[in-house]
Structures are given as C-alpha cells and as structure tokens.
Amino acid sequence: MPQITFNDVRYGVNAALDAAFFDIPIHGEEIKQQLNPPCFFVKLLEPMHTRELGRRYQRVHPFDVHYFAPARGNDNMYTMAEQLTSALQTIQVGGRPIRGTGMRFGIIDEVLHFFVDYTLHVWEVKATHPKMQTLEQKEGIKWGN
C-alpha cells in the first residue's frame, strides 16, 4: 500500500469540494487580492505527525475552508456551511474513505471559515537491508589428538 502524503489529503479535500460545487473555483496556494466570489480557499493549517507504536504514526490534518460568497448576508453563509458539512464528511484518499471530524465554522469579516480535521494512520516504510551476496565456506576434516 503506498504511503499517504499531506498533499494526498489536500487533493482529497479539493476533489470533494469540486464534486459537490463544480461551478465554484477552488484556490489553495495563497489568497490573491482580487478573488472573484463565489470561490473557495482551502488551507491546511498545522498538521500533526505523532508516533504511536513501533513504525505506526497518527497524522491529523486540520483544514480551514474559506468561502467567499457572492452576496453579503449570513443566510448564504449558513446554507453553505450546511452543504460543506455534507460534502466534507468523507473524502477519498489513496482509494479509501477518510472521515472528517471536529467540524465547526464561523463567519469572520464576511468570510465563512469552515474547519474540519482528517485523522489517519500511516506506517513508516520498513528499511530494507542488503542480503548477503556471497559466502565463502571451507570444508575439511580436522585431525586432532
């Protein structure tokens, strides 16, 4: 099974948004000065990578999905928050579903901020050591006293 990267989870969030809101553009690198609403801006906040046992690690991917609405007013924001709850409940990453947890939202400066976390386990790739290439063996009978 291939290792799941931080970017794989980002792409999974973007794909879920694109599937649910195909007509709304998604930005992910930086907020430009002139964004044309409606649009999304997806930001991976501060991911955590914690060792659990042996080669097993837990990764938490916290996201802040900004929604810039075309019209001012909280009604539009609350409707979008409800839709985001459904759209981001489960995303596909590496061919398997990952469930979103800790969903919450707030409206700050007329922008909807929708927060969701995706937690998954990854395993460190086991180091491969080179196997013995050749073996020299001498045979003989030892005559002793």
pLDDT at residue 145 in the model: 61
Tell me the average confidence (pLDDT) per consecutive run of 10 residues in the chain, 145 residues long.
Answer: 84 97 89 81 93 89 95 89 97 94 95 96 79 78 73
Model-level pTM?
0.81
Domain residue extents for the chain: 6-123
The whole-angstrom separation of Cα 27 and Cα 14 is 9
Tokens of 121: 């386990």
The C-alpha atoms of residue 50 and residue 67 are separated, in whole angstroms, by 30
Fold of the domain spanning 6-123? STM4215-like (3.30.2000)
Count CA atoms within 13 Å of residue 109 on its CB side.
1
- Encoded amino acid at 22, one letter: F
Instruction: Please choose, from the candidates 121, 122, 114, 123, the residue with its C-alpha nearest in 3D space to the C-alpha of residue 13.
Output: 114
- Would you state the pLDDT for residue 96? 92
Q: How far apart are CA 42 and CA 39, in angstroms?
A: 10
Instruction: State the CB neighbour count (10 A cutoff) for residue 49.
Output: 11
